[in-house]
Amino acid sequence: MARALAHSAERPRVLCFSGASNPGIVALCSEYGLGSITQPEAVVSFGRMHGATLAVIGPEAPLAAGVADALWEAGIPVVGPRQSLARIESSKGFARELLASHGIPGNPFFQRFTSMDGVDKVLTQFANRHVIKDDGLAGGKGVKVCGDHLHSMEDSVGFCRELVSQGHAFVVEEKLEGEEFSLMSFCDGETLRHMPAVQDHKRAYEGDMGPNTGGMGAYTGVNQKLPFLTDEDLLQAQTINERVAAALAEECGAPYQGILYGGFMATREGVKLIEYNARFGDPESLNLLTLLESDFLQTCRAIVNGSLKEVPARFSPLASVCKYLAPEGYPDQPRKGDPVLLPTDLPKGVTLFLSAVDVKGHTLVATGSRTVAVVGIGESLNEAEIRCENAVRMIPGPFFHRSDIGTERAILRRVEHMRAVRQI
Ligand code: AMP
Ligand code: GLY
């Protein structure tokens, strides 16, 4: 986001307020403040001190903490929804119930619980095909899926009891079968500008094995399509985002101004909702903002002014593949402190983004999470993948990445899986 803003034709002064120092972002900014991004006063005071005229909020925690509300009150317009609207991400139950109460298609069976009352009945009804979700934000650790993390009724009951004992509400829902994709839309409260659909890879290892992560990489296809999705699937997802934005405005009495991120599953019964996020996806944003050809700052202004209708968002028709390098042991026991050596000459069509890194002395070091993202673009997915993979291999050290993301073989597997799911 910092890069896309810095590249605007307006040549804005970019300010960043963050919990950590990211040298990639520091290089783009005229001011870089360190502090607690979930403390509204801290963010407002940084913005005021440097004369900010627009704010763009990245992660979910400040949105859930009401940082957008505080900035608006301080006269600083914000890309990123207010606290009540951000419930679309911060409460899984709220999102499901919003769809249900507004007659928006896409929900699987679901039920929200605050105690063990009635849990057994639902777990039995959907034996071996349920998903249990902590209702609140849990940094990707609050969701357990039958077959993946839950292998018996005891596992499921145990997880529910754990959530109850922590005082957390939770949702039990039907497990869906299909291929996942993300559809993000710029939204000014009324008009939505849809971005190309992206497929993320949450699992740590090749072939979608291993623990869940923040996302190991993502790809988009040529002409803004994904090879396993039909035009009808895309249209269904776009319609769900549009109806959700309208439902949110009605429910909360305020416009949703920001990025609305629908996490969907294409299934035999059409497109179903997995979850909503109230922000850009990571890594999906790296693909999308690399492909964005129109001016990001202009889109941000239109989001806060409510004039998105007059501002089209234009994306390149090229394909893109993004892969993260992560330290060995990530996500459970990552190595920390290893030096990160970046290539001086990047091949054509490749962009690097620094993530969990710090500068110690004069050395760039990994801090224990996803470290560097490499985005390759090309005339075909194959070309984008090869460019990305070749650049990833130029970065030495005890890091790993998923070499399968975006490969012809992996894409074919997705297409065949979808064909089997649709039974055609
Ligand atoms: P979430 O945090 O809601 O995105 O869930 C994390 C992951 O759990 C998703 O990316 C899916 O792979 C999986 N998941 C969540 N809900 C369902 C569902 N109803 N059916 C199948 N898989 C699901
Ligand atoms: N790519 C998943 C997320 O940003 O939550």
CA 143 to ligand 1 centroid distance, Å: 7
Q: Which of 284, 322, 324, 370 to mutate to test the pocket of ligand 2 (most atoms within 8 A of CB)?
A: 284
The count of C-alpha atoms lying within 13 angstroms of the C-alpha of 246, restricted to the half-sphere facing its C-beta, is 11
| Protein residues whose CB sits closer than 6 Å to any atom of ligand 2 | 200, 215, 277, 281-282, 284
Question: Could you say which DSSP state residue 143 is in?
Answer: E
CA 31 to ligand 1 centroid distance, Å: 38
pLDDT score for 167? 96
* Distant-in-sequence, close-in-space partners of 182: CB < 8 Å, separation ≥ 6: 197, 198, 199, 200, 218, 261, 262, 263, 264, 281, 284
For 82, the token pair is: 């207010």
Q: Cβ(173) to ligand 1 under 6 A?
A: yes
pLDDT score for 139? 75
pTM given for the model: 0.96
Q: Quick one: CA torsion of 337, 338, 339, 341, rounded to 10 degrees? A: -140
Domain boundaries, the chain: 2-79, 109-174
- The CATH fold of domain 109-174: Dna Ligase; domain 1 (3.30.1490)
Check: CATH 3.40.50.20 for 2-79?
A: yes
Minimum-distance ligand to the CA of 265? 1
pLDDT score for 424? 74
| Mean per-residue pLDDT of the chain | 96
pLDDT score for 355? 96
Q: Cβ(40) to ligand 1 under 6 A?
A: no
pLDDT score for 141? 77
CA 274 to ligand 1 centroid distance, Å: 5
Residue 220 binned pLDDT confidence (cut-offs 50, 70, 90): very high
Nearest-atom number in ligand 1 for the CA of 200 is: 10
Residue 69 has pLDDT above 80, yes or no: yes
For 316, the token pair is: 């390149």
Name which residue sits closest to atom 2 of ligand 2, judged by CA.
Answer: 281
Write the CA distances from 370 to 215, 324, 356, integer angstroms: 9, 6, 6
Q: What is the pLDDT of residues 387-404, one digit of tens each?
A: 999 999 999 999 999 999
